[in-house]
Amino acid sequence: MKKLLLTFLFTLVSFSCLANTPSETQVLLKTSMGDITLALNEKAAPKTVANFLRYVDSGFYNNTLFHRVIPDFMIQGGGFEKEMAEKTTQAPIANESMNGLKNLKGTIAMARTSDPDSATAQFFINLVDNTFLNSNVGKPGYAVFGKVIKGMEVVERIAQVSTGERGMHQDVPAQDVIILSAKRLP
């Protein structure tokens, strides 16, 4: 009887913990080099996640490139089609880099210009801990909004491709690395 009661209490506590765990939206990036699954942190970065999901749901990222690859730093995508044709984006969003999430290996963050509130569609996946990209008092950083939960080996394979210049762009893969599709997972 005691064992049965303990089992019941353990099950009750387990279900209670599950009920209080926020669910993370997951996105599958199918690339020409393999699949990458992302878990997005809506609680810490609600505006950034909503922005990213608008692009995902509209098909914006389909057939775009990982157009900037720097080993031991990051891979960047989400803004260019083949031949480095830049896509038209929505309005920029407010920077959420002070959300407590850090630019650690395997995290996904928004790319931006020197204007902290200039992020639109481009994102990058950190290949290492890039702490210098984090916000500090009085210095906005690059807003992390999720992490790779499956396919980090694909990210690392992309990081090893040969790169060069294409027009005014540097660190562009010599052979296109294509995001074939981006979609939410059920």
- All domains in the chain, ordered by first residue: 23-184 (2.40.100.10)
Q: Name every residue whose Cβ is closer than 8 Å to that of residue 157 and which is 6 or more positions away in sequence.
A: 33, 34
Residue 28 corresponds to which tokens in the numbers above? 């599958």
- The whole-number pLDDT of residue 138 equals 87
Lowest mean pLDDT across 22-36, 76-90, 113-127, 171-185: 22-36
**Strand-pair partners of 85:** 81
23-49 mean pLDDT: 96
- The whole-number pLDDT of residue 18 equals 39
8-33 mean pLDDT: 64
More confident residue, 140 or 13: 140
Query: Could you tell me the pTM of the whole model?
Result: 0.88
Residue 11 corresponds to which tokens in the numbers above? 């099950």
Q: How much of the chain, in percent, has pLDDT values that exceed 70? A: 88
